[in-house]
Structure 1
């Protein structure tokens, strides 16, 4: 039995063929064709899978189903996407129905951050645990909550939108969602830079990253590199970032009590340096029984997480 999975992004679609153990047999990428309001995307995916089957010598009749990870809000029960700007999709689209018409096989659709979280739970850093929280710190902040092996979707699909947890009550930075104070504004790569500029103007520290601050060319990696080198101002910023993340995780912990909190995304490449700072504040502020035994770790699967998680939807829901 074969499971197909696609992690659909604004630039490329990552495609994978897996067995029932969710081991990747083949994987490749195709460009995301966003022309004509993205109307070609699903057909391009299906045709690429069909070509791969011919090349690799397996039959599409052996496919159990296809899992799709989509960068947009999802009505999981019905497979409906309510707009996906990165794909040039506008309004509500029944992606499950459209792809089932192409493939003739069962289809499950979920948000890209959710399927990446599920991937880490089934074959990555949270493998074997039934209660996991994943938070991805990249250009923005995403995430997913898995409770008793099930992704938390909530009433209208907004469950697990961790980037929009309000943590900055001074409301200093505008979020793309229209509100101020979201975790995304102070803990993403953009958020690290936001805080560096804000506190540089306020405190006027002498710092290794001064030239880039003045020139407006600062990137999050430079802040982490300077902090690791002992730069006092950069360390101050990383402690602020870690405090915001730890606060969000402390509240999530008393609601879901995860065994693993998995940190992914580009910012997580700071590794143990970031984890240690988050862990210190998390232990200080979290209800002790909720924090006991919870492990904060970095993600393991990289770009494969979304594909594996999308395939896991088929394994979990197609009987």
Structure 2
């Protein structure tokens, strides 16, 4: 956006992932002035990791054309279990050796800026609420679809963190009580075990073992190209087994959405991440499932759609968390 159109103060958002760190400077209206990406190198350990986060922040400020003095505060979004009020990472599975790490205070000391820590999916949800597909709504639920299924809830401008920093874990809703599939967290019957990209591929492999039905998925498997994307593409091309797998995935996501509708009753439920590239047909399947299972009133009034900020949601939302904590005393006006 034009430097003449944005509005100070400015906030630095950092989105920590197991593979990449994304960072950007965001103005007081949630509009980004810069966006950069560098490798995390998580295997080098937490000390090197903090240095990488600080470097990502400095590169983003440099790319924004602003000075370091223009940055009011920093927001960090991170995966893994955490104690948000204490600023501690507890046991992040994709960050080996980063256990019980006071990441917020270590980064604040490096950057010499007030810093806030937030769960990465919560941050993405807040980004969509602040300036994305949820702009203008009162309440929002976000499902992030990828290797796993994450989630975030925003209600009246407030992120629902819960008493133990585990609020909004929508991917771990139990959708199968008996003989459930095992989730990556070790539990059974969780939504993530059915509807993540990883789960979709596992279900496809199981279906190929049990069925002699002609399908292009066998060719994809033989070529090492079987993935959530290839399954969706085969479905769109008319492959019957792939279409069945996608319908089942949409059903599972609709179950998750209905659980949240009957708990939170949000204005909007959004789906983000790699599987959100499945297209309008897939989204329509989710909506149809919601209409079948939800109470009639929320089924007719709750908007179900894809998120719009893509990979920018994390750092924009993290910057918004910094704004909430260190900037204006109330949530952004709607």
What TM-score do the two structures reach when normalised by structure 2?
Answer: 0.88
Stretches of structure 1 lacking an aligned partner (at least 5 in a row): none
Matches within 5 A, 1:1-319: 1-34=9-42, 36-50=44-58, 53=61, 58-171=66-179, 173-213=181-221, 217-319=225-327
- Residues in 1 aligned to 2:168 and 2:212: alpha-carbon distance in whole angstroms: 37
**Structure 1 stretches of at least 4 aligned residues deviating more than 6 Å after TM superposition:** none
Against the structure 1 CA distance between its residues 33 and 215, is the aligned structure 2 distance closer, same or farther, given a 3 Å change threshold? Answer: closer
C-alpha contact (below 8 Å) 1:10/1:87 kept by paired residues:
yes
- Residues in 2 aligned to 1:154 and 1:119: alpha-carbon distance in whole angstroms: 19
C-alpha contact (below 8 Å) 1:135/1:264 kept by paired residues:
yes
The alpha-carbon deviation at position 117 of structure 1 amounts to 1.3
- Residues in 2 aligned to 1:225 and 1:108: alpha-carbon distance in whole angstroms: 40
C-alpha contact (below 8 Å) 1:185/1:194 kept by paired residues:
no
Cα distance per residue 1:217-247 (max 9 Å; x no partner): 5212222122222222222211211111111
Stretches of structure 2 lacking an aligned partner (at least 5 in a row): 1-8, 328-334
307-316 or 79-88, larger mean C-alpha shift: 79-88
SS of the counterpart of 2:138? Answer: coil
Against the structure 1 CA distance between its residues 200 and 169, is the aligned structure 2 distance closer, same or farther, given a 3 Å change threshold? Answer: farther
- Residues in 1 aligned to 2:58 and 2:215: alpha-carbon distance in whole angstroms: 55
Against the structure 1 CA distance between its residues 221 and 255, is the aligned structure 2 distance closer, same or farther, given a 3 Å change threshold? Answer: same
Cα distance per residue 1:56-108 (max 9 Å; x no partner): 66332332100001111222222221122323343212222222222332211
